[in-house]
């Protein structure tokens, strides 16, 4: 039929737009390296390369009892972590879902909510039957706050900008650690905030606590970001601190901002541009908007909407349900890609159930191809970022046997953990960039960066005092 041919024509066009050749990837890597280096040189660069005041790697022998609060993109998580040394630990946790209202209402109120949840957790876990808590000393706590913060010590952090769809007024330009401490005082919670941590740094350190091959920590969740360990000598912008030349510090790259100012390097499509322009933060996080969980479903949905307008998809049906921004979660792309049936019956069910739409087999096959294109592009762009860190740190230089030696990339987030083939596509991308040597780079799921990582960082910080 006519629209079957239309779909095939469109697919050819989308394949051109969304496919990244190895050559193109290497060009992106080269410019990425330059941008990372520029961020280390001075403050206020596009990719800010934020010093974290986490000095060097953990030994794996850190011990003790710690609280961790994680204000992520989707949930608020409160945990108690018992570090046992030898890379072992135990975690008890509670999760609270954040509402859209909370993400956009007054920021002090958001921190009050965090404090209230923490206070209840402490009462439940450390209090007597009446919830009364009596402790010799306040419980040390690591606060994982995964938004770009300018730090000049570890228990402090001025929010540069909200990302991942947050917009709570009153936080940008403010010290969010201080705001949270103020909320904790309201509840009189017996807790001492030792460190403000980014989830990427938490992932890097948590993973290193259990596996010393770890070289970088990457988050593939609502947003996308990376951290790695840098020699202080390579961070010109903190020269004034007069730290020992051989010291190392974790850097939170905030790489989601790559290519946001000039748009010279990334092959953005009209859909990426539309997402950016209609977002609450236009002109920011260009790289993240092509990769992260918050956006992939929306890219897919925008293409569907265009083809509805062109009379190619869902002819003669009511399509308003799918025309609402952000109704198409990235988890749907996972479902579409993992449908095991020839007739794509999962896809049939998805569209019928969530959007009251009937689909033809041709439409479903088209959707699957489209999901593969969007998911693969995200993985290959991520590979470019990882390759930039690996190249800049010369991590492949000493590799002689890719079967025996490993450059470990610790990751976390639903996109990595749940999107079918995302890890394989990432690793294939790295081989496309580096050739066979790229096989030494292994990505793996790191256990609990914002819980265990926050605890280990709190322990490392206390040990330095
Ligand atoms: P966060 O980054 O907020 O701490 P997650 O790592 O769970 O939390 O990431 C949430 C993001 O992952 C959301 O944008 C959501 O759309 C996406 N997501 C959730 N489930 C899946 C899935 N099965 N496949 C792909 N993406 C998913």
Residue 242 and residue 235 in contact, taking contact as beta carbons nearer than 8 Å? no
Region of residue 355 (phi > 0: left; psi between -120 and 50: alpha; otherwise: beta): alpha
Please report, rounded to a whole number, the percentage of residues in the chain having pLDDT higher than 90.
93
pLDDT value of position 226: 98
Report the nearest atom of ligand 1 relative to the CA of 146. 4
Ligand 1: residue of 74, 146, 451 to mutate (most ligand atoms within 8 A of CB) is 74
Whole-number Å distance, alpha carbon 414 to ligand 1 midpoint, is 4
Give the residue whose CA is nearest to atom 7 of ligand 1: 414
Joined tokens for residue 394 = 């010369």
Residue 307 and residue 313 in contact, taking contact as beta carbons nearer than 8 Å? yes
User: Rounded CA gap, 429 and 141, in Å?
Assistant: 38
Domain 1-61+199-465 has CATH 3.40.50.2300: no
Q: Of 228, 209, 207, 224, whose CA–CA distance to 446 is shortest?
A: 207
Those residues whose C-beta lies under 8 Å from the C-beta of residue 295, and which sit 6 or more positions away, are 275, 288, 289, 330
Instruction: Give the H/E segment covering residue 149.
Output: strand 149-150
Q: Of 45, 73, 20, whose CA–CA distance to 257 is shortest?
A: 45
Those residues whose C-beta lies under 8 Å from the C-beta of residue 29, and which sit 6 or more positions away, are 384, 387, 388, 391, 433
Region of residue 316 (phi > 0: left; psi between -120 and 50: alpha; otherwise: beta): left
Instruction: Give the H/E segment covering residue 411.
Output: strand 407-412
3-state DSSP call for residue 54? strand
The answer to whether 334 is a known catalytic residue is no
Full-model pTM: 0.96
Catalytic residue among 77, 161, 268, 380: 161
Joined tokens for residue 425 = 């596509």
Joined tokens for residue 405 = 């030696």
User: Rounded CA gap, 102 and 448, in Å?
Assistant: 24
Residue 434 and residue 394 in contact, taking contact as beta carbons nearer than 8 Å? no
Q: Per-residue confidence at 4, pLDDT binned at 50, 70, 90?
A: confident
Give the residue whose CA is nearest to atom 25 of ligand 1: 331
pLDDT per position as a tens digit, 369-392: 999 999 999 999 999 999 999 999
Tokens 């079967």 sit at which residue?
Answer: 403
Give the residue whose CA is nearest to atom 8 of ligand 1: 221
DSSP 239: G
For ligand 1, say whether the CB of 224 is within 6 Å of any of its atoms.
no
pLDDT per position as a tens digit, 36-68: 999 999 999 999 999 999 999 999 999 999 999
Whole-number Å distance, alpha carbon 220 to ligand 1 midpoint, is 8
Between strands 248-252 and 50-55, the pairing is antiparallel
The answer to whether 342 is a known catalytic residue is no
**Sequence ranges of the domains in the chain:** 1-61+199-465
pLDDT value of position 403: 94
Alpha-carbon Rg for the chain in angstroms: 23
pLDDT value of position 2: 67
* CA separation, residue 255 to residues 37, 179, 287, 412 (Å): 12, 26, 7, 16
pLDDT per position as a tens digit, 424-433: 999 999 999 9
Whole-number Å distance, alpha carbon 415 to ligand 1 midpoint, is 6
Between strands 407-412 and 149-150, the pairing is unpaired
pLDDT per position as a tens digit, 333-357: 999 999 999 999 999 999 999 999 9
pLDDT value of position 230: 98
* CA separation, residue 127 to residues 69, 141, 352 (Å): 18, 17, 49
Does residue 139 surpass a pLDDT of 70?
yes
Per-position b or e across 89-99, b if 16+ CB within 10 A of its CB:
beeeeeebebe
The answer to whether 119 is a known catalytic residue is no
For ligand 1, say whether the CB of 234 is within 6 Å of any of its atoms.
no
For ligand 1, say whether the CB of 222 is within 6 Å of any of its atoms.
yes
pLDDT per position as a tens digit, 217-255: 999 999 999 999 999 999 999 999 999 989 999 999 999
Ligand 1: residue of 145, 285, 330 to mutate (most ligand atoms within 8 A of CB) is 330
pLDDT value of position 274: 98
């Amino acid at each position: 039929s006519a629209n079957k041919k239309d779909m095939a024509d469109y697919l050819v066009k989308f394949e051109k737009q969304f496919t990244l050749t190895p050559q193109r990837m290497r060009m992106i890597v080269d410019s990425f390296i330059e941008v990372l280096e520029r961020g280390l040189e001075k403050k206020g660069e596009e990719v800010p390369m934020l010093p974290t005041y986490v000095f060097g790697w953990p030994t794996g022998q850190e011990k003790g009892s710690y609280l961790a609060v994680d204000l992520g993109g989707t949930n608020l998580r409160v945990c108690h972590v018992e570090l046992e040394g030898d890379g072992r630990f135990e975690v008890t946790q509670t999760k609270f879902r954040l509402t859209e209202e909370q993400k956009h209402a007054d920021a002090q109120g958001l921190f009050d909510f965090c404090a209230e949840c923490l206070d209840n957790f402490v009462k439940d876990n450390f209090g007597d039957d009446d919830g009364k808590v009596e402790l010799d000393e306040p419980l040390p706590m690591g606060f994982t706050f995964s938004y770009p913060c300018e730090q000049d010590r570890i228990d402090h952090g001025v929010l540069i900008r909200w990302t991942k769809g947050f917009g709570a007024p009153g936080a940008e330009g403010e010290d969010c650690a201080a705001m949270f401490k103020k909320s904790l005082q309201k509840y009189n919670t017996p807790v001492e905030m030792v460190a403000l941590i980014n989830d990427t740094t938490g992932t890097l350190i948590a993973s290193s606590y259990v596996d010393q091959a770890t070289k970088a920590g990457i988050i593939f969740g609502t947003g996308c970001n990376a951290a790695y360990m840098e020699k202080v000598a390579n961070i010109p912008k903190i020269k004034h601190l007069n730290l020992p030349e051989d010291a190392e510090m974790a850097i939170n790259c905030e790489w989601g901002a790559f290519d946001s100012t000039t748009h010279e390097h990334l092959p953005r499509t009209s859909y990426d541009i539309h997402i950016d322009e209609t977002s609450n933060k236009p002109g920011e996080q260009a790289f993240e908007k092509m990769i992260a969980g918050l956006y992939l479903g929306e890219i897919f949905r925008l293409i569907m909407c265009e083809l509805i307008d062109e009379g190619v998809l869902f002819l003669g049906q009511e399509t308003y349900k799918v025309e609402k921004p952000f109704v198409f979660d990235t988890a749907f792309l996972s479902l579409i890609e993992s449908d095991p049936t020839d007739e794509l019956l999962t896809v049939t069910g998805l569209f019928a159930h969530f959007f009251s739409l009937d689909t033809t087999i041709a439409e479903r096959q088209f959707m699957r191809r489209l999901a593969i294109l969007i998911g693969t592009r995200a993985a290959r762009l991520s590979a470019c970022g990882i390759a930039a860190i690996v190249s800049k740190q010369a991590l492949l230089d000493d590799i002689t046997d890719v079967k025996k030696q490993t450059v470990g990339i610790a990751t976390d987030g639903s996109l990595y953990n749940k999107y079918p083939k995302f890890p394989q596509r990432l690793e294939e991308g790295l081989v496309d960039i580096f050739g066979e040597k790229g096989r030494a780079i292994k990505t793996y799921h790191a256990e609990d960066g914002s819980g265990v990582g926050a605890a280990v960082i709190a322990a490392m910080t206390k040990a330095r005092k």
